[in-house]
Structure 1
C-alpha cells in the first residue's frame, strides 16, 4: 500500500502542473485575442499613392517616399493591431521619412524586442535610422536603444 502512494503522488503532482500549464495557456490565448483592431479609415493609408509606396514585407508594412531622408522603425502598442498606425506613418513618409511598421507576435512587442535588428540593412539608401513606438512598443523600442 505504501508503494502505491509513492507512485500516485508524483503522478498527481504532474497532473496538477499540467492542469495549471493548460489554464495559463488558455488564459494567455484569451488575453491576446482581445486587441484593438484597425479602424476602417486607417486601412486607406495602406494604399500607395503618388507620394508614398506602401508594401508589406515579411509581415511588416513599409511606407517609402521617393527619396527618403531618414528611416523610422515603429513598434506598435501592446494589443494594438499594427496597421492602426498606418495614417501616422503614411504622413511621415510624405515628409520624406521611410517608415517600417513592425508586426509583433500576438500584438505584443515584448515577444520580439529585437524585431528591428535586420531592418536597416534591407534599406541601404537610408543612412540615419530612428526607432520608436507607442506604449509597450515604445518601451521595447527604448530598450532596444539601450542594448
Structure 2
C-alpha cells in the first residue's frame, strides 16, 4: 500500500511540474516592438481599443464595411500585428486581433461571433491569421457569416477547396517556418481562384513587429518594404470583399 501511495504521489508531482512548466512556457510571448506599436497609437487615422479579449482597430475616417478577425501566431503578442494592419485600417477596414487562450490559437474555442460583436457596424466579415493562427483561421472559415480568408505566412490543414471563400495567402520567399515548399504542398486545400502572393526576400517575422523568431531565415528586404507589400496585398483583397458585399 505504501509503495502504491509513493508511486501515486510521484506521478502527481511529475504531472504538476509538467503543467507548471507548460504554463510558464505558454506565457513567455514574443513581445511587440514598442516603437512600431506607438506609431499606430499616434496615427490619427486609426483608433485602437483594448476590448479585453481582443485588440480592436477601426478607421477614424470612412469605413468600407469590411472586418477581419485576425488570430496571432503562437505566443506572439497581439499588439505586434498593429503595425501590420495600420495602413489597412487607415484605408477603411476594421481589424479585430484576438487574444488567444494561453497565447496559442488551438486552445481558443470561442466562436467568431465573440470577436465580431466588437464591431457591429461591419457588414462583411473575413477571418485570418499568422502562422499557427492561420491554421486555426482555416478551421473557423466555414462559419456561414465568413466571406473571406486571410493567411499570412500560413496554410490550411483542412480542405476548403470547394468553398466560395475569397482567399488571400501572403507568404515570404525567405520564410523559415511556413516555407514556400509547405505553402505549395497545401495549395490544393484552398479554392482554385485563391490569390497566392509571395513576397520576395520576406521572412516569417515580417508579418508582425516582434523582432527575430527562432528557426526563421534572414530577410533580404527591409521590414518597412515587406510591411508595405503586405499591406498593399491586403488592401486589394479587402476592396474585393467590399465590392462583393455591395453586389
Output the TM-score relative to the length of structure 1: 0.84
The number of residues matched between the two structures is 141
When residues 118 and 25 of structure 1 are mapped into structure 2, their CA distance, relative to the original with a 3 A threshold, is same
Larger Rg: 1
Distance 1:115 1:23 in 2: 31
Structure 2 spans left out of the alignment, 5+ residues: 144-247
Match of 1:63 among 50, 54, 57: 57
Q: How far has the Cα of 1:67 moved from its partner?
A: 3.1
**Relative contact order, CA 8 A, sep 6+: which one is greater?**
1
Determine the structure 2 residue equivalent to 1:81. Answer: 77
Distance 1:35 1:121 in 2: 26
Output the TM-score relative to the length of structure 2: 0.52
Question: For the Cα contact (< 8 Å) 2:128–2:134, is it kept in 1?
Answer: yes
Alpha-carbon deviations, 1:45-75, whole Å to 9, x = none?
4415332211111241111113322001110
Runs of 4+ in 1 over 6 A off after TM superposition: none
Determine the structure 1 residue equivalent to 2:22. Answer: 28
Q: How far has the Cα of 1:86 moved from its partner?
A: 0.6
Higher-helix-fraction structure:
1
Alpha-carbon deviations, 1:6-33, whole Å to 9, x = none?
x223312321221121121132033224
Distance 1:139 1:75 in 2: 9
Alignment of 1:1-147 (within 5 A): 7-47=1-41, 49-65=43-59, 66-69=61-64, 70-114=66-110, 116-146=112-142
